[in-house]
Amino acid sequence: MTILPGWNSLDRATDFYRIFETAGVVALLASFLFGAGFVAYGRRKDELQRLVTEQKEASQIQEIGRLRAQAEDAERRVRLAEGTAAQARADAAVIDAKYAPRRLTAEQESALKQILAGHSGLHVHVHSVAGDAETVTFGTALARVIRDAGWPAEHENMAFLGAPDGLEVRIPADVGANPKEVRPEDTCPAAARVLARALASAGHPARLKFWPQNAVEPGMERDLELVIGYKRDESRGRPAKDTGSP
């Protein structure tokens, strides 16, 4: 051990002892401080890490909430748009039902012919309102389909004192001066009921009426008259008008 400085000198050994004693105390204090710092900062690091994680989670939850709110708002807008579109379609259907001219589709023509072709019919005089293009076009189409089904029919424009709404199948009868609705129990030509049933199956129902014989043109006493009146205003439920003869 003689190689250590001051090993054989009391004074030098005492000095080195005090140096190492002081250094030991300093090292012990430093060790304590480092240990305390390790524990304290380790806890602080964990706490800060937890706070950062909580902030991220809170931010993610907030973002999810925002996205959900956007999705709900988008769904609400879609429902609103669908409702608006549905209302627009309904409004368009009302307008179409009110103003669109009557037409016979291929399916309606087929239904009309199918019923008429199975029965022998009377001569049908189809009369439209003179000067009203819609009734004339529709009456012309009906007369054609009735002929195609094998019933004798022709179309003619007529000047009415007061044209009715909708369709009327008129049957000449001894009913005095006033027309009369045909009731289910009334006796009338079978062809009249067949024609009314065929028109109803095609989506264009007609009223059956007994018509005063003195208001019927000569030569038509045994025939049927199909009057093409004005298109009914279904949106208002306007009732058909009972009017005089042409």
**SS3 for the chain, per residue?**
CCCCCCCCCHHHHHHHHHHHHHHHHHHHHHHHHHHHHHHHHHHHHHHHHHHHHHHHHHHHHHHHHHHHHHHHHHHHHHHHHHHHHHHHHHHHHHHHHHHCCCCCCHHHHHHHHHHHCCCCCCCEEEEEECCCHHHHHHHHHHHHHHHHCCCCEEEEEECCCCCCECEEEEEEECCCCCCEECCCCCCCCHHHHHHHHHHHHCCCCEEEEEEEHHHCCCCCCCCEEEEECECCCCCCCCCCCCCCCC
Q: What is the pLDDT along the chain (246 residues), one digit of tens a residue?
A: 566 776 777 877 887 788 888 888 888 888 888 888 888 888 888 899 999 999 999 999 999 999 999 999 999 999 999 998 999 888 877 777 677 899 999 999 999 999 999 888 889 999 999 999 999 999 999 999 999 999 999 999 988 887 888 999 999 988 777 889 999 888 889 999 999 999 999 999 999 999 887 666 666 668 999 999 998 764 434 433 333 334
Q: Which of 162, 158, 170, 176 is nearest to 212 (CA)?
A: 176
What pLDDT, on a 0 to 100 scale, did the predictor assign at position 235?
41
Domain 106-228 has CATH 3.30.70.2390: yes
What pLDDT, on a 0 to 100 scale, did the predictor assign at position 246?
40
What pLDDT, on a 0 to 100 scale, did the predictor assign at position 31?
84
Q: Whole-prediction pTM value?
A: 0.59
